[in-house]
């Protein structure tokens, strides 16, 4: 296998509604996944063993790493002895609610299934992805907007893209997903909005009135404990965005803008130390 490099794009959640808790402890949810042009890169090289290195020394490169776990799970399922050496250039912040680790894992599954020529079916790959993490299936098979339910693994490709500039900001706070699930304020008994209908109206006819329904159920608890995150959202709203919200379990916040000039001006309002990203309208992932 000659060395080659692949981009692993991140995502935001347009709405994240926690709807209940299963007997196994997992929470059920509804959300709209949307890709953003913020990505890690992974270089793959043929090897007799599975190994990896990472540009970020804070991330483990042992069997706790999702990329290693993805490669091993495919190797074991396919019954192959082929290996790979991976170099992860980490750009997407972790603890941000952007799915960077999940995207990396999905990229490893997809690339190695092809390069190892083990021909694991899409259904079997999906099952491997679910075991790695609830967001992994989205990155494995989708390119644009997708509606998700279950624990995030039941996906419906909407065939849509967001017609907005997306500003994504990481306020240098790392929030563990486990912390967010322990501390959010449950509202399981409310009437749920039709996220699929609302996002279709937003993307196809520009109907913005339904945007307020795209709530993130982690947001209030995160804002209460991490005031810097709340400040980012307020700053983006003051800059004239159409909509702003926490992504995933945080701490990244995103905003939708109609004009590129507005989006760039909003990014300049925020502290220079915060990492920021601008995604163009109608962006979709390259697979």
Active site residue 11: yes
- The number of domains in the chain is 2
Q: 106-148 pLDDT, tens per residue?
A: 999 999 999 999 999 999 999 999 999 999 999 999 999 999 9
Residue 123 in domain: yes
Residue ending a domain, choose from 157, 185, 216: 157
**Local structure of residue 81 (DSSP, 8 states):** -
Percent over 90 (pLDDT), the chain = 95
User: Based on the domain organization, do 170 and 152 belong to the same domain?
Assistant: no
Residue 138 in domain: yes
User: Based on the domain organization, do 23 and 137 belong to the same domain?
Assistant: yes
Residue ending a domain, choose from 157, 186, 219: 157
Q: 170-205 pLDDT, tens per residue?
A: 999 999 999 999 999 999 999 999 999 999 999 999
Q: What is the structure's pLDDT at 260?
A: 98
**Local structure of residue 212 (DSSP, 8 states):** G
Q: If pLDDT is split at 50, 70 and 90, which confidence band does 25 have? A: confident
User: Based on the domain organization, do 101 and 22 belong to the same domain?
Assistant: yes
Quote the CA–CA distance of 199 and 257 in Å, as a whole number.
Answer: 16
Residue 1 reports pLDDT greater than 90: no
Q: 221-262 pLDDT, tens per residue?
A: 999 999 999 999 999 999 999 999 999 999 999 999 999 999
Residue 219 reports pLDDT greater than 80: yes
Q: Could you give the residue ranges of the DSSP H alpha helices within the chain?
A: 66-78, 100-115, 122-132, 136-141, 177-183, 195-205, 219-225, 227-238, 260-269
Q: If pLDDT is split at 50, 70 and 90, which confidence band does 58 have? A: confident
Q: What is the structure's pLDDT at 33?
A: 98
Q: What is the structure's pLDDT at 244?
A: 98
User: Based on the domain organization, do 34 and 113 belong to the same domain?
Assistant: yes
Supply the pTM of this predicted model.
0.96
Quote the CA–CA distance of 255 and 218 in Å, as a whole number.
Answer: 17
Q: What is the structure's pLDDT at 80?
A: 97
Q: What is the structure's pLDDT at 89?
A: 98
Q: What is the structure's pLDDT at 34?
A: 98
Q: What is the structure's pLDDT at 50?
A: 98
DSSP, collapsed to helix, strand or coil, labels residue 220 as: helix
User: Based on the domain organization, do 75 and 33 belong to the same domain?
Assistant: yes
Active site residue 153: no
Q: What is the structure's pLDDT at 286?
A: 83
User: Based on the domain organization, do 150 and 203 belong to the same domain?
Assistant: no
Q: What is the CATH number of the domain that holds 184?
A: 3.30.70.890
User: Based on the domain organization, do 101 and 77 belong to the same domain?
Assistant: yes
Q: Provide the token pair at 25.
A: 């402890």
Q: What is the structure's pLDDT at 185?
A: 96
Residue 156 reports pLDDT greater than 80: yes
Q: What is the CATH number of the domain that holds 103?
A: 3.30.230.10
Q: Which domain holds residue 198?
A: 165-279
User: Based on the domain organization, do 124 and 169 belong to the same domain?
Assistant: no
Q: 61-94 pLDDT, tens per residue?
A: 999 999 999 999 999 999 999 999 999 999 999 9
Q: Judge contact between 133 and 66, C-beta under 8 A.
A: yes
User: Based on the domain organization, do 152 and 10 belong to the same domain?
Assistant: yes
Q: Judge contact between 208 and 256, C-beta under 8 A.
A: no
Residue 287 in domain: no
User: Based on the domain organization, do 28 and 150 belong to the same domain?
Assistant: yes
Task: Work out whether the CA dihedral 111, 116, 122, 126 comes out positive or negative.
Answer: negative
User: Based on the domain organization, do 150 and 245 belong to the same domain?
Assistant: no
Q: Provide the token pair at 122.
A: 């899409």
Contacts of residue 277, defined as CB under 8 A and 6 or more positions apart, other chains included, come to 36, 37, 38, 167, 168, 169
Residue ending a domain, choose from 157, 174, 203: 157
User: Based on the domain organization, do 89 and 194 belong to the same domain?
Assistant: no
Q: If pLDDT is split at 50, 70 and 90, which confidence band does 10 have? A: very high
Q: What is the structure's pLDDT at 178?
A: 92
Strand 165-170 with 154-157, pairing: unpaired
Catalytic residue among 40, 104, 135, 217: 135
Residue 287 reports pLDDT greater than 90: no
Q: What is the mean pLDDT of residues 163-169?
A: 98
Q: Judge contact between 89 and 53, C-beta under 8 A.
A: no
Q: Judge contact between 145 and 199, C-beta under 8 A.
A: yes
Residue 2 reports pLDDT greater than 90: no
Residue 286 in domain: no
Q: What is the mean pLDDT of residues 14-34?
A: 95
Catalytic residue among 11, 82, 90, 233: 11
């Amino acid at each position: 296998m000659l060395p080659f490099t692949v981009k692993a794009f991140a995502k935001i959640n347009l709405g994240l509604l926690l709807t209940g808790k299963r007997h196994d402890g997992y929470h059920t949810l509804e959300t709209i996944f949307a890709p953003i042009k913020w990505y890690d890169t992974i270089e793959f090289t043929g090897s007799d063993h599975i190994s990896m290195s990472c540009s970020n020394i804070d991330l483990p490169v042992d069997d706790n790493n999702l990329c290693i776990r993805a490669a091993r799970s495919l190797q074991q399922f396919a019954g192959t002895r082929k290996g790979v050496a991976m170099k992860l250039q980490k750009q997407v912040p972790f603890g941000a609610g952007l799915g960077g680790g999940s995207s990396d894992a999905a990229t490893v599954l997809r690339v190695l299934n092809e390069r190892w020529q083990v021909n694991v079916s899409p259904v079997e790959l999906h099952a491997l992805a679910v075991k790695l993490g609830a967001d992994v299936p989205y990155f494995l098979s989708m390119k644009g907007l997708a509606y998700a339910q279950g624990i995030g693994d039941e996906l419906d490709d909407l065939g849509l893209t967001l017609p907005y500039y997306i500003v994504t900001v990481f306020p240098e706070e790392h929030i563990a997903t486990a912390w967010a699930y322990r501390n959010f304020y449950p509202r399981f008994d409310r009437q749920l909005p039709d996220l699929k209908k609302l996002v279709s109206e937003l993307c196809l006819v520009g109907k913005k009135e339904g945007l307020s329904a795209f709530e993130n159920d982690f947001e209030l608890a995160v804002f209460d404990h991490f005031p810097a995150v709340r400040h980012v959202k307020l700053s983006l709203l003051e800059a004239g965005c159409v909509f702003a919200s926490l992504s995933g379990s945080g701490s990244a916040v995103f905003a939708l803008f109609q004009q590129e000039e507005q989006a760039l001006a909003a990014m300049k309002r925020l502290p220079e130390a915060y990492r920021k990203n601008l995604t163009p309208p109608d962006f979709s992932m390259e697979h």
